[in-house]
Amino acid sequence: MANIKDATTGTFENEVLKSTEPVLIDFWAPWCGPCRMVAPVVEEIAKEYEGKVKVMKLNTDENMDIAIKYNILSIPTLGFFQSGQMVDRIIGAVPKKVIVEKMSKTFSATSAN
């Protein structure tokens, strides 16, 4: 999990909102079974898109204020952030293909590289 940083209330603004590259955040919690199912897929994406998309994880139990601010009602939720805004999301454990397709559409400037 070397490519994935943990986002926290203390780091969220600098790491996510002020990021110059697109950010994919995995909103999760340790007790969440579907979160554990999607984690290896998120890790693969982090490796494949290193240098193009910043991939982070945010534990919703420990950073509830961020989860509330972005209306994260179900986990896992994958949030797509660009230029300081959440521009899209995927709710639930989905196949890698679905995540990559959504990333390509959402971060179209990134996928053009």
Residues forming a β-bridge with 90? 78
Quickly tell me which residue has 């959402």 as its tokens: 106
In the structure, what pLDDT confidence band is assigned to residue 3 with cuts at 50, 70 and 90?
confident
Amino acid identity for residue 38 in this structure? V
Burial of 34 (0-12, 13-18, 19+ CB in 10 A): middle
CATH among 3.30.360.10, 3.40.50.1110, 3.40.50.620, 3.40.30.10 for 5-108: 3.40.30.10
What are the catalytic residues? Answer: 32, 35
Cβ distance 37 to 68 under 8 Å? no
Return the closest-CA partner of residue 58 out of 75, 82, 37, 41.
Answer: 75
* pLDDT at residue 113 tops 50: no
Where along the chain do its domains lie?
Answer: 5-108
- pTM of the shown model: 0.91
Range 90-104 average pLDDT = 95
Residues forming a β-bridge with 54? 23
